[in-house]
A and B are shown apart, each in its own frame.
Chain A
Amino acid sequence: MLRLEAVGHVFGRDRTLETIDLTVAPGESVCLVGPSGCGKTTLLRIAAGLVVPTEGIVSDAFHRSAVVFQEPRLLPWRRLLDNIALGLKATAVPRRERLARARALADELGLGERHDHYPHELSGGMQQRVALARALAVDADLLLLDEPFSALDVGLRSEAQTLLLGLLGRRGIASLLVTHDLTEALRLGHRILVMSPSPGRIVHEERVERPFGERDAAFLYEAAGALLRQPAVADAFLFRQCEVTP
């Protein structure tokens, strides 16, 4: 269980986060959605332990968490397998074993033909899959994802979402995913938290009961529409009431 209690953060003179309560249960997928600059990336950094919040308590009872960033952040001078095995090397897993595990993951994520390629020889979608494999390689039971697919075009993004759903489901990994795309949140989350900017706070929580397999395009658009009809959500996304209602 990951638990943030009354977390607030002040950066310089600006308050970026205000009294945020958030939990992620084992195996649960939580999506944080909000417009740009609402502090959701800062919140993810706090959850990852990369930033210490000015106020509040963070308790992380997960065995191991890993972060997938907006950009792949691969080492340009290491081959695909070595990049996947990076976290294993950091925990001193012997080379033969870590490469074997990296190879298995690369095959599972459809990177089988490119074991010896350097990152610049891979497309953007492949690089992001390598970053995902690197996070999975350390046997994380909590994945923190910061708009991992925002740089991909629509077709690739949908493909990557399907891949992620499969990987998380098969392994029972919990996830906290940050996105500015409502439909992405509705497709990937058990629970959706909507954030509003200045200062960043959670203004709405929505539980999506429908199984992942049945969330088709029609459902996503309809659910996104329903969500935007909530005044708090519409406010967060800077729609004024007069613009939403004719």
Chain B
Amino acid sequence: MKRSLPVRGVEALLGWGGSLTGVLLFVALWEWGSLVYGSFLLPGPRDALAALGRLWQEGAASAVLATTWRAMLGFALAAAVGTTLGILAGLSHALGRALQPVSTVLLGIPPIAWIVLAILWFGSGSLATVYTVMATSLPVSFAGAQMGALTRDRRLQEMADVYQVPPLMRLFDFHLPHIASYVFPALITSLGVAWKVAVMAELFATEDGIGAGLAMARVNLDTAAAMAWIVLVVALLLAAEHGLLRPLQRRMEPWRQHGRGGF
């Protein structure tokens, strides 16, 4: 049966521009919502862009820099500590049993509770935000690394026994490449958590940054500015994921690329 022209057109668009098509569809939906509900409740994409331009002139760049710094510092600390502990917990059963409940408890504490604690402990400011980001994203990378270390292939271990592979080579040639394939997806999730929590923590704890800008927009009932900040956060998250983590993953896992057929 022949499909109609619009259906084929949409299919072609989806196939050709994949994610770009998704973004454009989303923007169109947004524009439509803004037309229906009015620009006070839901400012359209153009209003948000105008607000973004205005914010930029008022010095949004420093806010972006502040938030990026806090989010990335918290994320990097959490990734380093979480991944290391996760690998150790996966390799050693005793350590795994000891750390697993801790990780579950940390995962269960809502980010908002961490912010309250962090403000009480460190006072308002960058440190409270960085700490909150670290505390909330650490269990994610821990769980990923632990799962990776737990799922090592026994048959490859036996092969290593046959060839009397020394411990250090076992770690670098057998364990770590396998663990990396679990750690990267966990890090990407953890990065998303880090951005969101950083903005949320800033809303309560700091005088600058994107979160503080959002707080200001709320006080001024400036919905367009709030939307502009949201656009900015999403853009930053995408830039960090596709500009940093994905290329790193491609570099470290070339064997995952779809390759030359071998038949």
Partners in one complex: yes
Verify if B261 is at the interface (C-beta below 8 Å from A): yes
Q: How far is the CA of A48 from the CA of B259 in the complex (A)?
A: 35
Least Cβ–Cβ distance between B191 and chain A, in angstroms: 23
Within 8 A of B (CB), among A145-163: none
Q: Point out the residues of chain A lying under 8 angstroms from B156, CB to CB.
A: 73, 75
Please tell me the size bucket of the interface on A. Answer: 20 to 34
Q: How far is the CA of A126 from the CA of B260 in the complex (A)?
A: 14
Verify if B58 is at the interface (C-beta below 8 Å from A): no
Within 8 A of A (CB), among B159-210: 159, 161-166, 169, 173-174, 177-178
Q: Dominant SS at the B interface?
A: helix
Q: Point out the residues of chain A lying under 8 angstroms from B162, CB to CB.
A: 48, 50, 66-67
Verify if B155 is at the interface (C-beta below 8 Å from A): yes
Cross-chain contact A126 with B262 (CB below 8 angstroms): yes
Identify the interface centre among B162, B253, B263: most chain A CB within 10 Å of its CB.
B162
Q: How far is the CA of A90 from the CA of B162 in the complex (A)?
A: 11
Q: Which of A67, A78, A114, A138 contacts B262 (CB 8 A)?
A: A114
A90 touching B163 in the complex, CB below 8 Å, given contacts A76-B255, A77-B255, A78-B173: yes
A87 touching B262 in the complex, CB below 8 Å, given contacts A73-B156, A77-B253, A77-B255: no
Q: How far is the CA of A67 from the CA of B164 in the complex (A)?
A: 12
Cross-chain contact A69 with B262 (CB below 8 angstroms): no
Least Cβ–Cβ distance between B19 and chain A, in angstroms: 26
Q: Point out the residues of chain B lying under 8 angstroms from A48, CB to CB.
A: 162
Please tell me the size bucket of the interface on B. Answer: 20 to 34
Q: How far is the CA of A138 from the CA of B164 in the complex (A)?
A: 11
Cross-chain contact B262 with A122 (CB below 8 angstroms): yes
Cross-chain contact A91 with B255 (CB below 8 angstroms): no
Cross-chain contact B163 with A138 (CB below 8 angstroms): yes
Least Cβ–Cβ distance between B173 and chain A, in angstroms: 7
Nearest B residue to A91 via CB reads B164
Q: Point out the residues of chain A lying under 8 angstroms from B158, CB to CB.
A: 50, 69, 73
Pairs across A and B, CB under 8 Å, 7 listed: A66-B162, A73-B158, A77-B253, A118-B255, A120-B255, A123-B263, A134-B163
Give B contacts to A, CB under 8 Å: 155-156, 158-159, 161-166, 169, 173-174, 177-178, 253-255, 259-263
A76-B255, A118-B254 known; 18 other A-B pairs, CB under 8 Å? Answer: A48-B162, A50-B161, A66-B163, A71-B155, A73-B155, A73-B156, A73-B158, A75-B173, A77-B253, A77-B255, A87-B163, A89-B169, A91-B164, A117-B260, A121-B259, A123-B262, A123-B263, A126-B262
